[in-house]
């Protein structure tokens, strides 16, 4: 049921419950403490009375002494009265005499008190005194009332003194009513205070909710939540701002990827459309193109289709990073390098590729790792001079690929791993500008790193370092 309430209502309810429990506990403890103090005072009065012998010559001493002697002589267990009154004057206790065998003997106008085993032991001299609750006839109509009794040993028996507990229970009842009223008022006040506290505490949450709803409604990821303080709400706001920045960055990357891909696709598509239009116009007009021109157009169309296929493959490879990552396995990197070199030799006819690969095993996806090595070799083959040499070495987990081409200017090195970035000197050459981006992503997925440097004496060296894995 509580889960159906709003967070504000639940917080207010929990505060009210907590205060109610605390107030109830304090009220109950206070009641028991007061009860204990009142009964201690009642017992103290009984002890003071019992410690004053009936014949001490004070107040009613002589009269009480005579009454005790007469009670022992007559020894009746039924309450008696002289007819003038019943019970002691205000401020005095009821009395009852016990014989040595524990038989009770009532005193006129003092009612009758219950006798317990403890009282009998006191009368026999086994105990000095006994204090307990009991019942006594303390009214003229013979009604029973609860009393507090103390029995003290006297020569030849014992004397019991009793005080009505209504002088304790009455104040306790009034105190209970007062505590219940105060507790109820405290609960009501705490409920109102809890609601006010909940509203004040959840105001930042309401503001955060408004901002989130605004972002969901407008898709404006540039909206930031103001952060004030270092509490949990501020931490949540910082996390949400970081999330929106990440989403905005991802959206920007996606839009840039789409724009760059559209730009890169436009060039080969335009060229293909132009060449195909020429071929179709030639067929439609009946004016045959010279064989050499026709052959060049077909070669150009084929080249543009190959470029499109390569670009689409690279785009699909890059898009895979947004999908669930492929499970990693132990891969023999030296075998991957051997396969990649075999493919590179088919593309670089006339080039010499020197290979030296020591055994090395890594964690990763075999297809992605081979694609990354092939991209490094493709760059080396593409920029190598005719009849040049490409050097490929794998030592202690670091793959180096060096070509002897023109090299990359220093100012362009920071951009080589950006998507669709191509050096001005390489824009006339085939390629999509995505190869090194794929290498960089694969290296990161495998826990390694990749970098490019200018080689001494000319050319470029690519370094791909991957951590090893046990077989």
Tokens (6 digits) for 335? 């075998």
Average pLDDT rounded to a whole number, residues 65-80: 72
The continuous run of DSSP H or E covering 210 comes out as: helix 203-218
- b vs e for 301-338, b when ≥16 Cβ sit within 10 Å of the residue's Cβ? beebeebbebbeebbebbeeeeeeeeebeebbbbebbe
Put simply, whether the predicted model's pTM sits higher than 0.75 gets the answer no
313 or 92: whose pLDDT is higher? 313
Q: 150 in helix, strand or coil?
A: strand
- Residue 250, CB-side half-sphere exposure with 13 Å CA sphere: 10
Average pLDDT rounded to a whole number, residues 12-33: 84
Q: Which range, 168-177, 220-229, 352-361, is most confident?
A: 352-361
For the chain, the distance separating the N- and C-terminal CA atoms, rounded to the nearest angstrom, is 57
Write down the pLDDT at residue 393. Answer: 92
pLDDT digits (tens, 9 = 90+) for 38-58: 888 888 888 887 776 544 434
| β-pairing verdict for 361-364 and 398-402 | unpaired
Q: Using CA atoms, how far apart are residues 257 and 194, in angstroms rounded to an integer? A: 52
pLDDT digits (tens, 9 = 90+) for 381-435: 888 888 888 999 999 889 999 998 888 888 777 777 776 666 655 555 555 567 7
Write down the pLDDT at residue 464. Answer: 92
Q: Using CA atoms, how far apart are residues 95 and 151, in angstroms rounded to an integer? A: 10
The single residue listed with the structure tokens 């003229």 is: 140
Cβ atoms within 10 A of the Cβ of 145, count? 15
Q: Mean pLDDT score of the chain, rounded to an integer?
A: 78
Cβ atoms within 10 A of the Cβ of 469, count? 18
Angstrom distances, CA of residue 182 to CA of 14, 90, 176, 415: 20, 33, 10, 75
Angstrom distances, CA of residue 51 to CA of 56, 128, 129: 10, 12, 11
């Amino acid at each position: 049921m509580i889960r159906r309430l709003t967070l504000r209502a639940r917080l207010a309810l929990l505060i009210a419950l907590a205060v109610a429990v605390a107030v109830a506990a304090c009220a109950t403890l206070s009641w028991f403490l007061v009860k204990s103090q009142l009964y201690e005072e009642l017992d103290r009065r009984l002890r003071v009375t019992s410690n004053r012998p009936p014949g001490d010559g004070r107040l009613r001493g002589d009269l009480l002494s005579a009454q005790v002697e007469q009670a022992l002589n007559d020894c009746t267990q039924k309450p008696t009265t002289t007819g003038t009154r019943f019970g002691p004057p205000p401020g005095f206790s009821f009395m009852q005499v016990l014989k040595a065998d524990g038989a009770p003997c009532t005193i006129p106008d003092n009612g009758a008190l219950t006798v317990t085993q403890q009282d009998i032991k006191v009368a026999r001299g086994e105990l000095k005194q006994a204090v307990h609750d009991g019942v006594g006839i303390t009214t003229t109509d013979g009604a029973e009332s609860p009393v507090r009794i103390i029995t003290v040993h006297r020569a030849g028996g014992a004397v019991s003194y009793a005080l009505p507990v209504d002088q304790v229970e009455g104040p306790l009842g009034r105190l209970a009513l007062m505590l219940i009223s105060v507790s109820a008022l405290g609960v009501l006040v705490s409920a109102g205070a809890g609601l006010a506290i909940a509203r004040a505490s959840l105001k930042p949450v309401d503001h955060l909710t408004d901002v989130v709803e605004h972002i969901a409604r407008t898709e404006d990821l540039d909206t930031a939540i103001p952060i004030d303080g270092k509490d949990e709400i501020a931490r949540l706001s910082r996390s949400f701002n970081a999330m929106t920045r990440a989403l905005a960055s991802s959206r920007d990357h996606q839009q840039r990827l789409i724009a760059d891909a559209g730009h890169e696709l436009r060039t080969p598509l335009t060229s293909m459309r132009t060449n195909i239009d020429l071929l179709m116009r030639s067929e439609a007009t009946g004016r045959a193109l010279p064989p050499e021109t026709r052959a060049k157009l077909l070669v150009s169309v084929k080249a543009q289709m190959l470029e499109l296929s390569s670009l689409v493959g690279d785009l699909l490879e890059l898009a895979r990073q947004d999908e669930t990552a492929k499970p990693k396995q132990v891969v023999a990197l030296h075998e991957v390098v051997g396969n990649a070199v075999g493919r590179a030799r088919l593309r670089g006819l006339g080039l010499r590729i020197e290979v030296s690969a020591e055994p090395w095993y890594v964690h990763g996806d075999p297809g992605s790792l081979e694609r990354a090595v092939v991209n490094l070799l493709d760059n080396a083959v593409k920029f190598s001079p005719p009849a040049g040499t490409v050097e490929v070495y794998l030592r202690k987990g670091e793959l180096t690929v060096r070509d002897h081409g023109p090299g990359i200017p220093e100012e362009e090195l920071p951009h080589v791993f950006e998507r669709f970035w191509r050096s001005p000197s390489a824009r006339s050459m085939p390629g999509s500008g995505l190869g090194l981006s794929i290498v960089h992503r694969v290296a990161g997925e495998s826990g390694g790193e990749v970098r490019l440097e200018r080689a001494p004496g000319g050319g470029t060296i690519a370094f791909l370092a991957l951590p090893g894995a046990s077989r």
